[in-house]
Amino acid sequence: MASLKALIATGLLAASALPTMASSQQAPTASIAEMASTPLVRVNIQESLRTPPDETSMTVGTQAKAATATEAVALNKAKTEKLLATIRASGIRERDIQTQGIQLNPDYRWDNEPGGRGRQTLIGYIAGNSVLIKTRNIDKLTSLLDALTTAGADTVYGPNFAISDPAPLRKEARIRAMARGQAEATEYARNNGYSSVRLLSVEEGVSYRGTDMIVTGAQVGNAMTPPPPPPPAPERGGGIVAPGQLETAVSLNLLYRMER
């Protein structure tokens, strides 16, 4: 009898465990049903703003040749000092003037000889100096170039246009992109019988002149109404310089949940 009671007790324990096992098997089905009742929508929005540049940089250089290295360096030093004086007189700040390199190289002459051969002969040295400058007076850039070449600049590389502070442009681009993302996701939701969407996450790629920065974040607030576009900037530059416009862009990957 004791063995029979033990068997009955064991059977009751096994039976009582069955509902627990069944409920654990039904959990994934409930999760899938919940996901189906609240589908997600992901939209990718790209927004860009084009504005005229407000600063430019260029590299200007001097060269001098002489029979000895000492003479070449001394001659180039005088040319560089004259060039720097012209740069400062043009209103460029000291912090926007930076020496990029000083060069001293041998100067050879190539002499052809019978039989298709030739030889090089040292005839002196070439000394050089290059200076990087930055200016925000884009409307006076043509006159600056004229002044630099008159002062003895042998080489000019640039100008390279830029926007000194792209942060306000990025902020405006984000606002517009968020508003577009909200509108497009809401359109998807309403086309499928839902009334609104709730933002779950955002991934942002910010680009400015080819430089990318990836930012990830959690849930953010509702998108704001985008501000009106800025008024067109007056024409700038003139002469041989045409600044054009630069593009600041953001790319948002937005994930929303559809809600009734």
187: left (phi over 0), alpha (psi -120 to 50) or beta: alpha
Mean pLDDT of 5-24: 35
Percent of the chain topping pLDDT 70:
73
Q: What is the pLDDT of residue 30?
A: 37
Q: Which of 142, 134, 155, 154 is nearest to 87 (CA)?
A: 134
Residue 22 has, within 13 A of its CA and on its CB side, a CA count of 6
Decide if domain 55-162 falls under CATH 3.30.70.270.
no
pLDDT digits (tens, 9 = 90+) for 92-146: 999 999 999 999 999 999 888 777 788 889 999 999 999 999 999 998 899 999 9
Q: State the architecture of 38-52+166-259 in CATH terms.
A: 2-Layer Sandwich (3.30)
**Domain ranges in the chain?**
38-52+166-259, 55-162
Task: Kindly state the average pLDDT of the residues 192-219.
Answer: 64
Six-digit token string for 201: 């996450």
Residue range 156-185: mean pLDDT, rounded: 94
Q: d(Cα 50, Cα 55) in Å, to the nearest integer?
A: 15
Grade residue 20 by pLDDT with cuts at 50, 70 and 90.
very low
pLDDT over threshold 80, residue 1: no
Give pLDDT tens digits for 125-137: 999 999 999 999 9
Per the document, the length of the chain is 260
Give the Cα separation of 16 and 146 in Å (integer).
Answer: 96
Higher pLDDT, 11 or 123: 123
pTM beyond cutoff 0.85: no
Residue 115's φ and ψ, nearest 5 degrees, are: 85, 10
Q: Say whether pLDDT at 159 is over 80.
A: yes
pLDDT for residue 184 is more than 60 = yes
pLDDT at 182 over 60: yes
Q: How many CB atoms lie within 10 A of CB 20?
A: 9
